[in-house]
Structure formats: C-alpha cells, structure tokens
Amino acid sequence: MNRLQRRIFLIGTLPVLATSRAAAVERRSKLPIVGYLALNTEPLGRAQLTAFRSTLRELGWIAGRTVQFETRFADRQVDRLPALVSELLALDVDLIVATSSATARVSKSATSTVPIVMLASANAVGEGLVASLAHPGGNITGMTLLAGPEIASKQLEMLRKIAPAALRIAFLMNLRNGSHAAFAAELVSAARTIGVQLQPVGVGSPSQLDDAFAAMTKQRAGALLVLSDAMFLGERRRIISHAQVGALPAMYSQREFVDDGGLVSYGPSLIDMGRRGARQVDKILRGAKPSDIPVEQPTKFELVINMKLAKALGLTVPQALLLSADDVIR
C-alpha cells in the first residue's frame, strides 16, 4: 500500500474510529458512579480503600469497565467535607461511600435520596445516622464499629491490667464526635468498678493535641485511652509520639496505632469492615434499597500488643492477655 492509498484508507476509517470513541464515551457515561469520601489523607486511607475496591472487583465491579470511582480525601480537615460531598453530588454519583462517622453525617445532611454506605461509624444508632441496625430506614446503611460504647469499658479493663500502677487514666475524646459523650459515660461507670480516676481530655482539632497532652502531664495521668475517631486515626503518629515522650501506656481502638509504634489496641478491623462494606455496595448497585439492608456490626475484633514498647516502659503484660492477642509485636 503506497502513501496515497494509506491516506485514503485512514480517511475512510475516521468515521468508524469517531463512532467507536463516541460509543465508548457513551458506555462510560452510563456506568454507575461510586463516590468515596474520606476524612483522612489518601496515604493514611489507602489500605482500606484498596481492600474496598479489591472486594468490589471480585464481585465484578471493575473500574472503567463496569463502574466508575470518584474519590475525595479531606486531608483531615472536617470543614472541607461539605464541599467535597457537593462535588460528588454534582457528578451525579449513584452512591456515596462514607468511611467514618464525620463523613456519614455530612453525606446524610447533603442528600436524602442518594444511597450512602458507611464503612465505619462509631455508633450508627446512637449518633442518629439510622433508626435501628435491623431496619436503618432512609438512604443510609453500612457498617458500625459498635452497637454501643461498651467496648470502652473493656479497653479500660485491659489497660488497667497492663498498667496496674496507673491510678489516674486520661481518655482522649473528640469534642466534635457525637458518639463520644456516650463513651465517656461508659468509662465513668467502668472506672468506679475498676477503682481508677479518670481524666477526660477533649479536643476539637489537631491543633489542640499539644495542649491536651500538656494537660495530661500537669494532672499526672498514669495511662491513656484514646477513643475511636477518624481524626485521631489520621493524627496517630503525633498521638503515639506524645504518649511515648510522656511515658504513657496507651490503649487505642485500631491496630494501625500499634503498627505505627503504639502500645496496645483492641477493636474492630477497619480492613475487614471495608471489605464487608463493599458487599453492601454491591447489593445496592444491583438494585437493593439501603433501607432494606441491615447495618452490620464488627465480627472481627483484634487485640494487638507491642511487647517491644511494653518492655521499654517497664510493663509486664499478663500472660492471659498475650495468649488471647491476635498479634504480638516483639
């Protein structure tokens, strides 16, 4: 084929190529769009996002072929969430995935029609996100970390066993987290039974963490319990560093804290919840209504202990706790 023949051939194929491209664009435009909203930074939320998307892929939802993803990370700035939700809604998303209580609340406030699936919420019923676990009602379902704040008392008991000399225990709470008041009340009740003094320390933003730990030092706290919160998870390295500088034995709610050098954690697996949340998204994309899908509670609780740090702090972890641990870092 000479140059002229090639040119004629290419000219002849242009309408076909244009039609093919137009068809591809049309197919893409008809794909369901899943909006993914996270409070933290992309690096900090990558593991859960990867687990979520890989599970959807196993269920047949392949990015660019059978589904589109629009991800938004607020970089730990709560005030950015309303604008990010508005961006997703402007894209006409078919569903919003909310990775925390904060993102779930903002999403619910922004729409009463677009389905919302929570990958994690501190207390879905207590926070008013759903009517009940079995019958959520409205446009929201998903995963909740707890049916109630009872886990806090168990965390306090474990921390007391690991640090028996700590007669005054501080607990860090987020003043902007609607579920933490119930957790605080649970801890006050448990503290009476265990026989320790509690020091509630509240913060409303990451900028207040330095002052919070200064207050713990001033009041001579002997240990620390950090309540489950997306902001705390995002600031975990700072929190861990403060606890180590103050030689505070600290209990956390997610193993990510221990993976980054913290002492001990007890709570649900966020990765597992991401996978289970993906299965709920699959149901909705196939036609189910959020109001008909029960909110699920964790089935996998992890106890993770950092023995290297325990030894550095001069702590003796009871053998019973070590035997019941899911993971021990030595």
Are 207 and 316 members of one domain? yes
- CA distance to 21, 24, 115, per residue, from 30 (Å): 14, 10, 18
Range of the domain at 203: 151-269+301-329
Residue 10 has pLDDT above 70, yes or no: no
Are 305 and 194 members of one domain? yes
Are 143 and 250 members of one domain? no
Residue 4 confidence class, pLDDT cut points 50, 70, 90: very low
* Per-residue pLDDT tens digits for 62-120: 999 999 999 999 998 889 999 999 999 999 999 999 999 889 999 999 999 999 999 98
Are 261 and 320 members of one domain? yes
Residue 1 confidence class, pLDDT cut points 50, 70, 90: low
Are 168 and 190 members of one domain? yes
Residue 57 has pLDDT above 70, yes or no: yes
Are 131 and 213 members of one domain? no
* Residue 16, in any domain of the structure: no
Are 104 and 51 members of one domain? yes
Are 139 and 30 members of one domain? yes
Question: Tell me, what CATH number does 120's domain have?
Answer: 3.40.50.2300
Are 234 and 168 members of one domain? yes
* Per-residue pLDDT tens digits for 193-218: 999 999 999 999 999 999 999 999 99
Number of domains making up the chain: 2
Average pLDDT over residues 231-236: 90
